[in-house]
């Protein structure tokens, strides 16, 4: 089972696969801030790399590879990742991207942080619903598999509620904190999966007033 390779993570043996996005910039900012450097950063984009991202990667004491593609499932990304001999990669995608590349899913651990309590809150907008329904926030870090938000769970942490109008920034913040905490953990345990009710646990719809409703729950 490939998750056995997670022991390499505690030795800081990990890479990052990053889209050319604001979230990826936030990841770089905070990994520099916490002095937790990957062995390799792969940035994939058909457009010119964000200038701020360029400035940040110069500060990273690791190898940087830029791939001209907007598709995580491209053969170029697959070959670069497999040939790197790195077992664990943190992944920050473009919105709505789904990994379908079987080699990536089977041969390495793709680590993702999700701002919701899995399996209770899955999908693309779980934080809003969690605040509205329970007035609570969790973050789950897991190994991505072929099913959306259903991979092996590595870490679940509860966080304080954000201040009003700070939800979007807080989303990135807790995702990164979970990853940093996991990488710096001396022992990584894979949690037993719970049975998932496919009809009731997905929160995808980002209605235009959803953010405002969630903000009204905050101080």
98-150 pLDDT, tens per residue? 899 988 898 899 999 998 888 888 877 788 888 888 899 999 999 998 887 78
Give CA–CA dist 107/96, Å, rounded: 23
Q: Is 50 exposed, middle or buried (0-12, 13-18, 19+ CB in 10 A)?
A: middle
Under 8 Å between Cβ of 32 and 55: no
pLDDT value of residue 61: 76
Q: How confident is the model at residue 218 (pLDDT cuts 50, 70, 90)?
A: confident
Q: Is 178 exposed, middle or buried (0-12, 13-18, 19+ CB in 10 A)?
A: buried
Give CA–CA dist 201/159, Å, rounded: 20
pLDDT value of residue 210: 72
Where is pLDDT greater, at 95 or 177? 177
Give the SS3 label for residue 99: coil
Give CA–CA dist 180/35, Å, rounded: 10
The DSSP H or E segment spanning 33 is: helix 22-33
Q: Which two tokens stand for residue 72?
A: 């995580």
Give the SS3 label for residue 52: helix
Give CA–CA dist 16/74, Å, rounded: 16
Where is pLDDT greater, at 147 or 66? 66
Where is pLDDT greater, at 111 or 205? 111
Dihedral pair phi/psi, residue 200, rounded to 5°: -125, 0
Task: Name all domains of the chain by residue range, CATH numbers in brackets.
Answer: 2-215 (3.40.50.170)
Which of 63-72, 169-178, 199-208 is the least confident region? Answer: 199-208
Q: What is the mean pLDDT of residues 52-66?
A: 83
Q: Biggest alpha carbon distance in the chain? A: 49
Summarize pLDDT for 187-198 with one digit per residue, the tens: 666 654 555 454
pTM score of the predicted model:
0.84
pLDDT above 90 covers a percentage of the chain that reads 29
Between strands 137-143 and 153-159, the pairing is antiparallel
pLDDT value of residue 198: 47
User: Half-sphere exposure (CA, 13 Å, Cβ side) for 123?
Assistant: 18
Query: How far is residue 184 CA from its own chain's centroid?
Result: 16
Q: Is the pLDDT of residue 62 over 80?
A: yes
* Average pLDDT taken over every residue of the chain: 83
Give CA–CA dist 100/147, Å, rounded: 10
Q: Which two tokens stand for residue 135?
A: 């007035």
According to DSSP, the residues that pair with 90 across neighbouring strands are 16, 111
């Amino acid at each position: 089972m490939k998750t056995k390779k997670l022991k390499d993570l505690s030795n800081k043996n990990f890479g990052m696969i990053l889209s050319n996005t604001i979230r990826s910039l936030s990841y770089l900012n905070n990994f520099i801030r916490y002095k937790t450097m990957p062995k390799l950063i792969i940035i994939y984009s058909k457009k010119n790399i964000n200038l701020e991202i360029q400035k940040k990667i110069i500060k990273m004491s690791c190898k940087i590879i830029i791939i001209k593609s907007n598709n995580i499932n491209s053969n170029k990304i697959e070959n670069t990742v497999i040939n790197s001999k790195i077992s664990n990669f943190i992944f920050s995608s473009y919105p709505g991207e789904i990994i379908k590349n079987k080699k990536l899913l089977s041969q390495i651990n793709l680590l993702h942080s999700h701002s919701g309590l899995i399996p209770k809150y899955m999908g693309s907008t779980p934080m809003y619903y969690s605040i509205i329904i329970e007035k609570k926030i969790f973050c789950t870090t897991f190994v991505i598999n072929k099913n959306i938000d259903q991979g092996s769970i590595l870490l679940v942490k509860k966080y304080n509620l954000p201040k009003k109008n700070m939800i979007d920034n807080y989303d990135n913040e807790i995702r990164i904190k979970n990853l940093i905490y996991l990488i710096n953990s001396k022992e990584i345990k894979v949690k037993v999966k719970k049975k998932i009710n496919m009809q009731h646990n997905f929160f995808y719809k980002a209605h235009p007033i959803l953010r405002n409703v969630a903000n009204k729950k905050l101080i």
